[in-house]
Structure 1
């Protein structure tokens, strides 16, 4: 009976307590049941409620902007030129509510403000979009974290009002007056933006009816820009569908053009119809002006060379005007580039270009999966005639092979590499009077090896720094062990071959003896080779140090002294290893993809797969 009575008392008190916690000031009450009689002892603590317990505004909610942005005493927003925007002037517009922390950092170089300003400038002439700044005063001593870890730039004042004015002076939109603390705090509570924990600006987008379309919308603005207006899910789905179709049936007309434009421009302002070069190989040159123009110079040489022969090649500049990193605080030169700078750079280039800040610009970046970190390296995307093929690593091919890489396909790259390797002859490696030594001390002159199948293995330095049980060293040890077994097994048969281990250490492979045991083949010092080990005849220009540290390469020659195998990843596929006819081209392609990182899987594949 006493238990039922105690529960009843607690239920009543619980209801009283729950009715009070939604108020700004609340009483914290501690209940304690004393004894079996059910006497309840209460202690009350008057506390300041940190947050209200109501649910914060989120995507899909419908809100009343008038109640949030205006008060009984203020029916306007302010601008940075001391003008007012009345509440009725927001009717019919999509609104961005922009929460920015006042940290004392230089506000002019905020990536977020620059991105939003870029979109705002595009939409403002249509009078369909407005942004409202809500300054979050994290410098307020009452709201600062106890750890005092808020970064303050030493050259700037700590006065919040002054910092707000500096911040707002670079923004073309409206703001809640800094003096209206009550309204700013109310907005922060409504959107659950805590002054203690806002480390970067937040943007909420609300449509004309008051529905919250997006929360923290930076990716949307970065990927779509003003083309994403009104930034609803329906609009974004439509744009994603367009991107998907462009990846499935890519054409220069759909990628470079738009409903309002079917041309690109020359550096003298001439409009060149896109259809005039659809039968050519077209290089889309993603270019950022903050980085060296080495690729530009290489591309100019190729462009001039093709112009002498016939019009088979075209370049279209895709000028990247955004900063290459998301940073709160960077130098001025790393932020949005002006149209004047675009023309200054473009005047030095002989090819065509997409108009500055054209609507197709962001579409090209999305479709070709161009991430912001890719700007660090200028990029050529090769578009074959009528979209027959698309190659994202055209810049690598141009720098490695020059005009010989035309039409910039992987098949052509493999053809060039294979041709170069097939020019290599065994007699080019050593002088005829070179002598090789076996582990038993016997010596064999190079002249006695003519007419035999030969392979040489470049000794890896992995054992110098890897642990005995490391995966790479285990693989290399296994390879050497199996090669020794195959060497002995094939002695005196039709598959007999000789092995020359190219030693890169002074110890003549002493550590391999501990790993593998006695190896019966020949040993030669690397410095006895006539050709440089880092020659492109061998390993695509990889330095010798890198080569022996991370790979265990082999070269195999037929009895006529011609290369039949060149690999950094030797495997025992069949009894004829490593001497078999054919397959050299496939091996070249596989290694080019790996060593040059020509791997399509490195792309994010934002909207389907355009590369095949």
Structure 2
């Protein structure tokens, strides 16, 4: 049953054949019909659930503050396993509940709203339409009473207002804390950060990419400090364990929010965090300057500082110039590493590959999609080689040890970077490889043709070669022409539909 954008009959949802009322913890009964025209929250919770126990007092505080308005109500829908647990937990709640004995009704509501985890707070507006479903709990946590009446307009207003009036203090100060901490235990007032360029570093100790990025950020931080730059970093750890937090923080020369500080969870939502590592830059005026410069630092190091739009434009111009002047040697040669290896382990100079079409193949044996794609790539490789011998593939491995690399590479008929070669990391960053398998096509001039060669090979096989935009466009046009001849089908742009 879909619940979005549909007005629901609360009486039907909350009543049963034998009951048209809800109960309070003192035994009073309240007619379900009394909820009509009110803002109502369905609170799915259970006494055994730690996050529920933590959230309930906050919801009580909001409820009691709004109770004087007379148009806000909450209905407890229990996930407890016995009557005693229900009664004990319900005694802490000033709102209504479905009687514990109504197992069928409670289960039906969990199915209607697809409750897969608790606490869950589904909020209805005065017309019985769901105004706040999956994010009801986070909305109350983040905005409290200010979130009332908990609809999209109000939440958008709060978000826009927060951005407009944002300061470093509004971001980092909470009702119970006006400081950040150093790794030697000192409390540093947040006010000391005002007027500085501040990086908010969202990280997880055990996350591989965070582990790779942190040393680069440490290097940048120390260099900027030595230069006297007005720059600071604050760690917002997303770790669960104190030991992980301490082990990570002790390697960092900057500040942090205390572990599991409520502001961390709030700021994850506020900055709409999608990936880690993430370094949000707050300007000297307290406004967000850049939502994530981690990738910029990976690519440009200290040259990315101070992360302003002007600096980003400058870097983009430099990058464009690099792409236009890119050669195969500038891509594959790094110091003394000026070769790839052949099947016998012999060194093949990169200079021997200049002028050829090259496919950089990022893959690993442990990766099921890589193993599934490999036979198709081998077939395409042999077909292309028969047409144009000036074509080569270079395997760039993400395998975890030499023996696995050797075993996987033994299935391939082409060249490779040696296992553990530092160029693998450089190339992954350069071409922004986010997942494997991936294939980057480089033309005879040494310039990048496409980073999506794997997708084109999957779609067209060897016919995708030489992967140029003009060739692929021609392929699509030819396929559309063929499709036009298919009886009962009409093709328009990217879609073929039955007539």
| TM-score of the aligned structures, taking structure 1 as reference length | 0.44
Number of corresponding residues: 393
The answer as to whether partners of 1:380 and 1:393 remain within 8 angstroms in 2 is yes
Counting only pairs closer than 5 Å after superposition, residues 421-432 of structure 1 correspond to structure 2 as: 424=330
Residue in structure 1 matched with residue 155 of structure 2 by the alignment: 239
Change (3 A) 1:229 1:214: farther
What SS does the corresponding residue of 1:273 show, helix, strand or coil? helix
CA offset at residue 285 of structure 1? 1.7
1:69 to 15, 18, 23: 23
Residue in structure 2 matched with residue 501 of structure 1 by the alignment: 392
Counting only pairs closer than 5 Å after superposition, residues 250-261 of structure 1 correspond to structure 2 as: 252=167, 256=171
Q: Deviations over 1:378-433 (max 9, x none)?
A: 422234565898544433444566545534558648858949967739997879xx
What SS does the corresponding residue of 2:135 show, helix, strand or coil? helix
Change (3 A) 1:572 1:260: same
Q: Which has the higher contact order (CA 8 A, sep 6+)?
A: 1
2:194 to 252, 266, 276: 276
The answer as to whether partners of 2:42 and 2:122 remain within 8 angstroms in 1 is yes
**Aligned equivalents of 2:64 and 2:44: distance in 1?**
24
CA offset at residue 243 of structure 1? 1.9
5+ residue gaps in structure 2? 1-7, 31-37, 343-347, 364-368, 396-408, 454-465, 472-499
Residue in structure 2 matched with residue 592 of structure 1 by the alignment: none
Residue in structure 2 matched with residue 526 of structure 1 by the alignment: 415
The answer as to whether partners of 1:68 and 1:187 remain within 8 angstroms in 2 is no
Residue in structure 2 matched with residue 603 of structure 1 by the alignment: none
CA offset at residue 309 of structure 1? 0.9
Cα RMSD over matched residues? 6.6
Residue in structure 2 matched with residue 305 of structure 1 by the alignment: 223
Residue in structure 2 matched with residue 553 of structure 1 by the alignment: 441
The answer as to whether partners of 1:534 and 1:542 remain within 8 angstroms in 2 is no
Residue in structure 2 matched with residue 365 of structure 1 by the alignment: 268
1:395 to 294, 310, 319: 294
Change (3 A) 1:231 1:527: closer
Residue in structure 1 matched with residue 479 of structure 2 by the alignment: none
What SS does the corresponding residue of 2:187 show, helix, strand or coil? coil
CA offset at residue 173 of structure 1? 3.7
The answer as to whether partners of 1:220 and 1:228 remain within 8 angstroms in 2 is no
Counting only pairs closer than 5 Å after superposition, residues 459-608 of structure 1 correspond to structure 2 as: 484=388, 499=390, 501=392, 526=415, 534-535=423-424, 540=429, 550-551=438-439, 553-554=441-442, 556=444, 568=451, 569=453, 571-572=467-468
**Aligned equivalents of 1:108 and 1:550: distance in 2?**
46
Q: Deviations over 1:312-354 (max 9, x none)?
A: 4222344558xxxxxxxxxxx68xx9xx999998798654556
- 1:315 to 2:233 alignment: yes
Residue in structure 2 matched with residue 168 of structure 1 by the alignment: 89
**Aligned equivalents of 1:507 and 1:307: distance in 2?**
50
- 1:457 to 2:358 alignment: yes
Change (3 A) 1:272 1:430: closer
Decide which structure has greater helix share. 2
**Aligned equivalents of 1:186 and 1:205: distance in 2?**
21
Counting only pairs closer than 5 Å after superposition, residues 273-352 of structure 1 correspond to structure 2 as: 273=191, 276-277=194-195, 280=197, 282-287=198-203, 294=211, 298-318=216-236, 320=238, 350-352=253-255
2:281 to 382, 392, 411: 382
| TM-score of the aligned structures, taking structure 2 as reference length | 0.51
5+ residue gaps in structure 1? 1-53, 78-92, 102-106, 140-159, 322-332, 436-444, 488-498, 510-524, 558-562, 576-612
Q: Deviations over 1:115-136 (max 9, x none)?
A: 6336337658969699775546
What SS does the corresponding residue of 1:277 show, helix, strand or coil? coil
Please identify the structure whose Cα radius of gyration is greater.
Answer: 1
Change (3 A) 1:539 1:115: same
CA offset at residue 94 of structure 1? 9.3
**Aligned equivalents of 1:211 and 1:543: distance in 2?**
48
What SS does the corresponding residue of 1:369 show, helix, strand or coil? coil
CA offset at residue 359 of structure 1? 8.6
